[in-house]
């Protein structure tokens, strides 16, 4: 809930600025028990493959020699002289053995799986999470993205991530200027309306004999809103962190609000505006939330 505002946010001046949208969780990894793909059979060594290729080249001639040997042995045994049958028996057995060996090798070659024809690894089944249901009302990210696209129509290089560096620099410059009572130092970075309010605030503190003491600034900014309105671009950034921000007596330096408490939490929104296109961004509004001191009235 905002407790103080300086300047203007255009048509959104009376609305509560958007806070950063929580980051979406990363998809969960597959469980350890997920089925694994079967391993493909190991490829035979290169030397063994080369040996088989050379042997396969001799299968045809060996088969022919063995068949011829058997035929010749049978013919000689059938039409030759008596008593030659027992003498040709070892030759017949040798020829038959060679023929059987050649046939076994040919069968082994036919049954062996061809390259690429072996077992195919089946990928493990991956269960994808169901897609989130969509509604007619876009979420915060969608609204912010649409506003950034509106700004990029006239400034294609606008980058909200890089813009946060400028926001943090202006935050420090503005806080230091308010502490010194020298808002003239940031006149070229704020809109005329906000400059008038900052100057009036500094004058009220001076009349009361008080001043602000600001140091130990450590903040980070994030763009949460972007929109186009009546020929102007608007960007609001949420600023979080810590800094020391006390109200002291201008002459003695004594604390006005009680004992020193050290750095306080920063919970603020800075809104910037410019004419649409390639023009300098000007700080137009400062809003604080619970956790920071209320702005003096």
Q: What is the pLDDT of residue 246?
A: 83
Last residue of a domain, one of 64, 91, 111: 111
User: Helix count (H) and strand count (E) of the chain?
Assistant: 5, 5
Q: Is residue 175 part of a domain?
A: yes
What is the Cα–Cα distance from 139 to 136, expressed in whole angstroms?
Answer: 9
In terms of domains, do 184 and 251 share one? yes
In terms of domains, do 227 and 159 share one? yes
In terms of domains, do 183 and 243 share one? yes
Q: What is the pLDDT of residue 293?
A: 45
> CATH number of the domain that 153 lies in?
3.10.450.240
Q: Is residue 125 part of a domain?
A: no
In terms of domains, do 149 and 65 share one? no
Q: Is residue 8 part of a domain?
A: no
Q: Is residue 20 part of a domain?
A: no
Q: What is the pLDDT of residue 180?
A: 86
In terms of domains, do 96 and 232 share one? no
Last residue of a domain, one of 111, 129, 164: 111
Last residue of a domain, one of 59, 92, 111: 111
* Closest by Cα among 291, 267, 239, 282 to 9: 282
The token duo for 218 is 């450590």
Q: Give the residues of the chain that fall short of pLDDT 70.
A: 1-3, 23-141, 257-261, 290-297
Q: Is residue 164 part of a domain?
A: yes
In terms of domains, do 202 and 84 share one? no
In terms of domains, do 177 and 264 share one? yes
Q: Is residue 120 part of a domain?
A: no
> How many domains in the chain?
2
Q: Is residue 41 part of a domain?
A: no
Q: What is the pLDDT of residue 137?
A: 38
Q: Is residue 83 part of a domain?
A: yes
Task: Give this prediction's pTM.
Answer: 0.60
Contact predicate 235/254, CB 8 Å = no
What is the Cα–Cα distance from 83 to 18, expressed in whole angstroms?
Answer: 114
∠41-42-43 over CA atoms, to 5°? 115
In terms of domains, do 151 and 218 share one? yes
Which residue range forms the structural domain that includes residue 54? 46-111
């Amino acid at each position: 809930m905002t407790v103080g505002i300086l300047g203007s946010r255009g048509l959104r001046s009376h609305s509560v600025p958007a806070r950063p949208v929580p980051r979406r969780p990363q998809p969960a990894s597959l469980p350890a028990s997920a089925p694994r793909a079967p391993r493909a059979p190991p490829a035979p060594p290169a030397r063994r493959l080369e040996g088989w290729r050379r042997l396969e080249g001799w299968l045809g001639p060996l088969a022919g020699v063995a068949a011829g040997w058997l035929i010749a042995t049978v013919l000689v045994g059938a039409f030759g002289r008596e008593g030659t049958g027992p003498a040709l028996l070892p030759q017949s057995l040798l020829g038959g053995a060679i023929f059987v060996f050649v046939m076994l090798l040919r069968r082994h070659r036919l049954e062996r799986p061809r390259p690429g024809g072996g077992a195919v690894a089946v990928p493990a089944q991956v269960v994808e999470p169901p897609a989130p249901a969509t509604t007619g009302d876009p979420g915060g990210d969608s609204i912010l993205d649409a506003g950034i696209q509106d700004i990029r129509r006239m400034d294609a290089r606008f980058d909200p991530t890089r813009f946060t560096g400028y926001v943090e620099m202006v935050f420090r410059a503005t806080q230091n200027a308010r502490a010194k009572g020298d808002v003239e130092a940031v006149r070229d970075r704020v809109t005329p309306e906000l400059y008038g309010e900052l100057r009036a605030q500094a004058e009220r503190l001076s009349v009361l004999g008080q001043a602000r003491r600001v140091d130990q600034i450590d903040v980070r900014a994030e763009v949460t809103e972007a929109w186009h309105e009546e020929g102007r671009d608007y960007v609001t950034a949420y600023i979080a962190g810590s800094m020391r921000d006390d109200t002291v007596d201008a002459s003695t330096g004594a604390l006005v609000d009680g004992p020193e408490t050290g750095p306080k939490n920063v919970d603020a929104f800075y809104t910037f505006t410019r004419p649409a296109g390639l023009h300098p961004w000007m700080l137009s509004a400062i809003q604080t939330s619970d956790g920071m001191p209320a702005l003096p009235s």
